[in-house]
Amino acid sequence: MKSRTKVVVIGGGIAGCSTLYHLTQEGWTDVVLVERNELTSGTTWHSAAQVTNFGMTQTMVGLKSHSIKLYNELANDPDYPINYHHGDGGIRLANTPEQMQGYRHFASMARGMGVDFEIIDPEECARRHPLISTERLLGGLWDPMDGDIDPAQLCQALARRARNAGAEVYRNTPVTGLTQHKDDTWTVHTEHGDIDCDIVVNACGYRVNEVGAMMGVHHPVASMEHQYFLTEPIQQIVDFGKRVPLLRCPIDDFYSRQEKQGLLVGFYEQDCRTWGLDGIDPNFVNALCPDDVERVMPVLENVFKRMPVLAEIGIHTIVNGPITYTIDGAPLVGPIPGKRNAFCIIGLRAGLGEGGGHGWLLAQQIVHGEACYDTWVIDPRRFAGHTNVELTALKAIEDYQNEFRFHFPHEHRPAGRPAKTTPLTPVLAAEGAEFTVVNGWERVDYIKPSPDFHPSLSFNFDEAFDIIGAEVRNVAENVGLTEVNGFNRIEITGADRHAFLDRMFCGTVTKRDGRVGLGYLLNHHGCIKGEATVANLPASDRGPARVWYGSAAASELHDMDWLKAHLRPDEDVQLRSLTNDQTILVLAGPKARDVLSACARGDWSRDAFPWLSVRECFVGFAPATVLGVSFSGELAYEIHVPNASLYAAYLALRAAGQAHGLRLFGARAVDSMRMEKGFLHWKADLLTEFDPFETGLAKFVKLDKGDFVGKAALVQRQAQGLGKSLVTLKINATHAPARGGASVMQDGKVVGTISSADWGYRTGLNLAYAFMTPALAEIGTKLHLDMYGDLIEVEVIAPSPYDPGFARMRA
C-alpha cells in the first residue's frame, strides 16, 4: 500500500468509484481509493439502479446526461462490457393540471441541456406501458433515455478503468482516523498503515458521519429504510416483445422497472422509517434490514389499482435496505464546509443513476477548483450549522414521503420548521406574516389578509398576486418595513483589511470611512464567485476601525471559506462572522427618511447622509448601524441591529412610521422590485459559469488596478469574446411568470436560458433575465419562450426598466 498519494477517496460504492475514475480522466493518476470491505458492499449493491435523465435543475439534468453517456460507453466496451438497459424509456405520471404544467416546465428546462422529454396523455401512457390503468390519470412525462444498470458491474468497470490509468484501490482497508496537518495536508490512518495525502474525499454512503466525526464535522445526511419487491415472471411482459418502460408514480407513491421477465416494484410509504441514527453495526456489510411488508400495505393497495396485474403475481424477493437522504433531498458534492483540502460526495439517494455525473463534477472541482456547471444546487455549503441529526431526520422523512412530488414555486414544506428565528418571528407572525425559508431562517414572504389564507400551489401567478402588488405600491408611494434575517455579515479588521479586499474584488471598492461599496469576487477562472457590499466603519466605542462584508444569507459558509482560503500568513487581517448576532430591518420608500429621522437622532438629510453611506446610531434606544443602500430601487436604509435590541428597534420604527403610512412587506415584493431595477440574485443570475462581462457587470471591473483573484483568466476570457450575454426580457403573458431554466427559442432552436423572473408591479411588465446568445442580445430583438409548453413572444428590453437613472434611490 502506498504511503503517499495526492488524493485518498474513502468509500467503494458508486460515489467513490466514480470520483476515482474521473480524477484520472482529469489528469490526476496518483490517487487511491480505500474501502472498509469489498466494493459496493454498502447501499450500492442493493440499489434499484434506475438511470433517468430527469432533473429539476439544469445542473442535475447535465450530470445525469453525463452518467448516461458514460454508462453507455462502459456497456459497449468490448474488453469489459456491463449490463445496462439503456433507452427503455420511462414515464412520470400526473393526476393534476398543476403537475402536468410542472412537467412542461421541466421539459423546457431540459431542452436547454440538449435533452428532449415528451409530454403525453393518459392513452399514450397506457399504450407505451400496457400494464397500467389510466384511472385518475391526466398524463405524464416521457424520458426516452430512462433505463437501469447492474450496480456491481458498473463500479467494477469504473475501478478497472481507474486502475488502468494508474489509480490504486485497497479493499478490506478500514479507515480508523484522519489527521490534518498545519500545511492542510492529511494523514489517513487505516488498519493496514497510514497514507499521507493532499486531499481527502468522503464517499462513505450511510457511514458518512463515521468518517465525518474523524474530521470533526457533521454532515446533514440520514438514512431511510427502503423496500422493493421482485415479482415472479409476468406473461404480459413476455408477450410485450420488448422491455416495458420504467414507471414513477407520485399519485400512488411507487416506481417499477422490468427485472428479467417480472417487475421490480419499490414503495415510498408514508409510515416510513429512519435507520442508523444512533450508530451502525460495524458488521453491517452486504446486509439488509428485516422485511416489513405491513408497512407498505396502504401503498400496495393503490399500486394494485394502477397496475392490476400485480394483484395476481407472486413476490419472489423482498429487499429492504438503507438509502441516504440530505436535508433537502439533493446530494452533497463538493468542498466540506470549514475544512481545507476536504471534499465529500454523499447523500446520493439516487446514487447509481446520478453517480457518474456527481463524480465527474466533483473531480473537476478537486482538480480545477470549479466544475463546468455551477454546482451550488449540490454544494455542501448550502446549509449552515442548524442541520443537526434530528432536523435532518425530519426532513429526510418528509422528502421520502414526497419522493416523486416536485416542489412548486413558493411551496415550503412544514417539517423541521422553524429552524432559525429572531425575536421578531412571533411578532411578525402575529401581524399575519407568511414565511419563506432562507438558509433555515424564517423570513417574511408577504403579509396574509387572514389567518386561513392559503394560495394554491401552481406555476401561474397565485392568489397572493394582488397582495404583493399592494405591498410594492405602498413601498413606492409611502414607506415599507421588512426584516432580512440571516444576511451574511463578516467583520474584517486589521491593518491590511483594505489591501486584502482589493485583492479579492475585481473592481475598486471604496476604502473611505463612512462609505459603502458593491463589488464582485471572481474564481480562478475569471467567473463570478460572489457579490458583496463593503461598509467601512471608523473606530468607535463599538469596535476598532473595521469593514463589514455583507452577502446573501445562503453564502454564509461559502464566502467565509473563500475569504479564509485567500488570507496570506503575513497579512494583518481578522475575519469574524456576525451573521447570527445581528439582523437587518429594511426601511424603504420615499418617506423612509422621515421615519428614520423621527426615531434616530442626527441629520439624515440627503447632504448629511447620501446614498452609499454608513453610520452608527440609535434607533429609539436600540444600537444600530445604518447603511444607505437599496435592493428595491426606492430610497431605502438597511438598519443592522443586535438581536437583543431587535424588538426595541422594530417598535421604534413602527411608532415613527404611523404618521407616514408605514406597512410591512415581504421577500416576494422585494424580488419583484429588484427585477425592475436590474439587480441580480446570487446563484440565480450570478453563476460560476459566466464572467462579469457576460453578466453585464463590466462597470464593476477594473482591469487597470493591481492583481486580483481571477484577473489573468478574466483578461484571457475578455480576449475570446462573450460566450453569453445576460439580458432583460419583457414577456407577452399575464397569467404566469417564467421560471428559471426555461428555454428561449428562435426558429425551433434554444438560444437562451431564463435565470430568474417575476412580475414588475411598478412597470406593469412580466420580466425575466436570461443568458442569451450574444448576437441576439440587442434591445428590441423578439424571440419566443418555451413557457410550460407554449411558445410565448418575448422582447429584449433595456435593463432597469424602473427608474433607469436611479434617481429615486438617491433622493
Q: What is the pLDDT of residues 208-217, one digit of tens each?
A: 999 999 999 9
Give start and end residues of each alpha helix (H) in 436-590. 465-477, 497-504, 556-565
Beta bridge partners of 324: 223
Contacts of 290 (CB under 8 A, 6+ apart): 320
Distance of CA 72 to CAs 62, 116, 352, 358, 475, Å?
Answer: 16, 18, 14, 16, 56
User: Can you give the length of the chain in residues?
Assistant: 811
> Would you call 757 helix, strand, or coil by DSSP?
strand
Q: What is the spatial distance between Cα 543 and Cα 497, in angstroms, rounded to a whole number?
A: 15
Q: Of 348, 64, 43, 378, nearest to 226 (Cα)?
A: 43
CA dihedral 116, 122, 127, 133 (to 10 degrees): 130
215-227 confidence digits (pLDDT tens): 999 999 999 999 9
Ramachandran region, residue 783 (left: φ > 0; alpha: ψ -120 to 50; beta: rest) = beta
Q: Which three cell numbers stand for residue 91?
A: 414515464
Distance of CA 660 to CAs 205, 215, 435, 581, Å?
Answer: 57, 55, 25, 30
Looking at residue 351, its pLDDT comes to 84
Distance of CA 356 to CAs 87, 104, 348, 437, Å?
Answer: 17, 26, 11, 31
Q: What is the spatial distance between Cα 322 and Cα 396, in angstroms, rounded to a whole number?
A: 12
The torsion angles phi and psi of 495, rounded to 5 degrees, stand at: -65, -25
Q: Of 558, 248, 206, 203, nearest to 396 (Cα)?
A: 206
Cβ proximity of 169 and 29 under 8 Å: no
Q: What is the spatial distance between Cα 346 and Cα 405, in angstroms, rounded to a whole number?
A: 22
User: Concatenated DSSP letters for 628-644?
Assistant: ---SSSSSEEEEEEEGG
Contacts of 422 (CB under 8 A, 6+ apart): 441, 483, 485, 583, 643, 646
560-608 confidence digits (pLDDT tens): 999 999 999 999 999 999 999 999 999 999 999 999 999 999 999 999 9
Residues of the chain with pLDDT under 50: none
Q: What is the spatial distance between Cα 74 and Cα 149, in angstroms, rounded to a whole number?
A: 11
Q: Which three cell numbers stand for residue 626?
A: 445604518
Looking at residue 358, its pLDDT comes to 98
Residue with cell 411608532: 655
338-366 confidence digits (pLDDT tens): 999 999 999 999 889 999 999 999 999 99
* % of the chain beyond a pLDDT of 70: 100
Q: What is the spatial distance between Cα 546 and Cα 530, in angstroms, rounded to a whole number?
A: 20
Q: What is the spatial distance between Cα 413 and Cα 415, in angstroms, rounded to a whole number?
A: 6
Looking at residue 350, its pLDDT comes to 87
Question: What predicted TM-score, i.e. pTM, was given to this entire model?
Answer: 0.97
Average pLDDT, the chain: 97
Q: Which three cell numbers stand for residue 170?
A: 485497497
> Residue-wise over 557-583: b if at least 16 C-beta within 10 A, else e?
bbbbbbbeeeeeeeeebebebbbbebb
Looking at residue 173, its pLDDT comes to 98
Distance of CA 64 to CAs 148, 255, 562, 739, Å?
Answer: 13, 19, 28, 21
Looking at residue 64, its pLDDT comes to 98
Looking at residue 384, its pLDDT comes to 86
Looking at residue 385, its pLDDT comes to 78
Q: What is the spatial distance between Cα 788 and Cα 106, in angstroms, rounded to a whole number?
A: 8
Say how many C-beta atoms besides its own lie within 10 A of residue 688's C-beta.
Answer: 21
